[in-house]
Structure 1
């Protein structure tokens, strides 16, 4: 599995973050998140976290005249909830993310509920889908400029009898950020995506956060909220020498 890996400052990680990049990018494009959290200004609050930034495969992209570009799945039409899906490519990428999760659990002994999943654009889409598809209960989800895809596949997991059993993360906290001025993935599409997950799966802790003036990008206002969310969902364990309980 190709990825940029940043080990925890502590000898053994007790938590982990997997953050999935967007179209045409690489894992290195989001390494700055680890740099921020492991920097001097963080006051050792994130020393227990290991970071995984997976790299997408380079594939021919239909909307780019079949030019090869790093992409988690093929795109036939930009920015439409009704566009044709590359279901096979999408599910292959879901499998890649699952492999990273399984490796953290088995090789690093990080419990699944201490693993946070996030992503931007295509990565944000995969993150939202993993709320429904993941077999593991995770710590939280962060979708930046994400959108819903593979709706028929997701609806297979809908259960009115025991939704908490079919979807372990039905009550997990989820942040869905989107720029009101996003011209690549329209705000309307983002709202439709939010409505889909809220209406079809009644996710109680899915929070939609519009950001005025933001396009298809990441801004400081958003990063501040992301850092707060990470601090809340992945606090150091009591056994961590740098952990000072506020209780």
Structure 2
């Protein structure tokens, strides 16, 4: 089981958000976003921020750092080490199972990810047959999008996908193509673009809060 940083916004949470960080960061990276995102009238949530394993990253001259998979080149059609992606999906499944063991229903679990973390949660959704509350995919893309497919019985899940129009790490066109591919595969993708680089912004967090509120209130 991956080590995690956790925050609970109230007693006995019945909702969980498992949030995967980007390359070279760790589970502490997005923890400060919780007070900016959460609204006072929401039900209690547990935020789970796992630490990715440390691994050599090819495009960084093999320097070891926390990463959900290796990046082997610059071409987005083949840059992700898909074996590493699938290993991270298995680790994510274990975190989901732990939340269910803690008493959180599967359809009350959100998966969130930034950059590499987002690539993992999008890959996980295509292979998942059990319910989820939704996906939060920030400044990210779908690895191996051209050959991506859903398993039989894959669950339909709403997706909040946001990107920076000036992102120098993952060009917005790559992310937009991933959103189109996800829609073609049957996922309900809500797309947002912001005048920013490879980061998050206040307007994005406000929009994500509205998206989350609609789902928390509908349960």
Q: Does TM, scored on the shorter chain, surpass 0.5?
A: yes
Change (3 A) 1:236 1:214: same
Partner SS state of residue 10, structure 2: coil
- 2:48 match: 52
Task: Indicate conservation of the 8 Å contact 2:4/2:50, yes or no.
Answer: yes
1:209-228 aligned at under 5 Å gives the runs 209-211=192-194, 213-228=195-210
Task: Indicate conservation of the 8 Å contact 1:133/1:154, yes or no.
Answer: no
How far apart are 1:46 and its partner, in Å? 3.5
What is the CA–CA distance in structure 1 between the aligned matches of 2:50 and 2:160, rounded to whole Å?
20
What is the CA–CA distance in structure 1 between the aligned matches of 2:218 and 2:3, rounded to whole Å?
28
What is the CA–CA distance in structure 2 between the aligned matches of 1:37 and 1:186, rounded to whole Å?
26
Task: Indicate conservation of the 8 Å contact 1:48/1:236, yes or no.
Answer: no
- 1:66 match: 62
**C-alpha RMSD over aligned residues:** 1.9
Partner SS state of residue 28, structure 2: helix
Partner SS state of residue 76, structure 1: coil
Structure with max Cα Rg: 1
Q: What do the CA deviations read for 1:12-36 (whole angstroms, capped 9, x no partner)?
A: 1111111111011111011012233
- 2:178 match: 193
What is the CA–CA distance in structure 1 between the aligned matches of 2:218 and 2:44, rounded to whole Å?
6
Deviates more, 1:45-54 or 1:12-21: 45-54
What is the CA–CA distance in structure 2 between the aligned matches of 1:125 and 1:111, rounded to whole Å?
24
What is the CA–CA distance in structure 2 between the aligned matches of 1:191 and 1:225, rounded to whole Å?
18
1:1-247 aligned at under 5 Å gives the runs 1-10=2-11, 12-37=12-37, 42-43=39-40, 45-78=41-74, 80-106=75-101, 108-151=102-145, 154-155=148-149, 157=151, 166-168=153-155, 170=156, 172-199=157-184, 201-203=185-187, 205-211=188-194, 213-235=195-217
Gaps of 5+ in 1: 160-165, 238-247
Gaps of 5+ in 2: none
Change (3 A) 1:154 1:82: closer
